Amino acid sequence: MSASVARVPTLSASRYLQQLAKHWSHKMAVTYSAEEGTIEFPNASRLEMRADSETLDLVLTVPEDGDAARMRTVVEEHLNRFAFREGALTFEWRQP
């Protein structure tokens, strides 16, 4: 498994976490609260999220044979849809 980590600065972290989790809960296994959430993708990838008052922390785990760059883009695009009022969010992915 390959992991990518990002800290996304936003004052709406909890709202975006819950919106993304609810959005994907119709198609995937999702658990979430106002502070944390986990999304299990059909391709065996996993997104873990934690929200505080200033940041949304993301840990994206992708199988070795998966497309990590594509999965990061999918997560970014979906979160940016929810953040349209705020403008594009900043994602600085790194390997842990």
**Which residue in this structure is represented by tokens 């909890």?**
14
pLDDT for 4 equals 97
Q: What is the mean pLDDT of residues 43-66?
A: 97
Torsional sign, CA 89, 44, 19, 27? positive
2-82 folds as TATA-Binding Protein (3.30.310)
Burial class from Cβ neighbours inside 10 Å (0-12, 13-18, 19+) for residue 53 reads exposed
Chain mean pLDDT for the chain: 96
**What's the distance, CA 67 to chain centroid?**
16
pLDDT for 66 equals 87
Q: What is the largest CA-CA distance in the chain?
A: 36
Q: Where are the domains of the chain?
A: 2-82
Rounded Cα–Cα distance for residues 80 and 89 (Å)? 6
Assign 63 a pLDDT band (cuts: 50, 70, 90).
very high
Provide the whole-model pTM.
Answer: 0.94
